[in-house]
Structure 1
Amino acid sequence: MSAALDTQLQKATNEYRKIETDLSNAVEARQRLDIQLTENEQEFKSLTSQNEVFKLIGPVLVKQDQSEAKSNVEKRLEYIRNEISRVEAQLKDLNAKQEKKRLEVVHLQGQMESQQQPDGAIAA
Structure 2
Amino acid sequence: MAALKELHRELENKANDLNKLQKDIAKNHQIRKKYTIQLGENELVLKELDLLNEDANVYKLIGPVLVKQDLAEANANVRKRIDYISAELKRLDSTVQDLEEKQNSKKEAIYKVQQRIQSLQAGKGKA
Q: Same fold judged by TM-score > 0.5?
A: yes
1:37 is matched with 39
Q: CA RMSD in A?
A: 1.3
Q: What stretches of structure 1 of length at least 5 have no aligned partner? A: none
Displacement, 1:49?
2.3
Deviates more, 1:52-61 or 1:12-21: 52-61
Work out the number of aligned pairs and report it: 120
2:97 is matched with 92
Displacement, 1:82?
0.5
Q: What stretches of structure 2 of length at least 5 have no aligned partner? A: none
1:49 is matched with 52
- How far, CA to CA, are the matches of 2:102 and 2:113 in structure 1? 16
* 1:79 and 2:84 aligned: yes
TM-score (norm 1): 0.90
Give 3-state SS (helix, strand or coil) of 1:61's partner.
strand
The residue type equivalent to 1:88 in the other structure is D
| Identical pairs, percent | 38
1:65 is matched with 70
Displacement, 1:60?
0.9
Contact residue 11 and residue 113 of structure 2 kept, 8 A = yes
2:13 is matched with 11
The residue type equivalent to 2:27 in the other structure is N
- How far, CA to CA, are the matches of 1:31 and 1:83 in structure 2? 12
Give 3-state SS (helix, strand or coil) of 2:23's partner.
helix
- The Cα offsets for residues 79-123 of structure 1, whole Å up to 9 and x where unpaired, read as 000100100110110010000000001111111111112127xxx
Displacement, 1:52?
2.6
- The Cα offsets for residues 43-91 of structure 1, whole Å up to 9 and x where unpaired, read as 2112222443211223211111110000100100000001001001101
Runs of 4+ displaced beyond 4 Å: none
- How far, CA to CA, are the matches of 1:49 and 1:23 in structure 2? 41
The residue type equivalent to 2:92 in the other structure is V
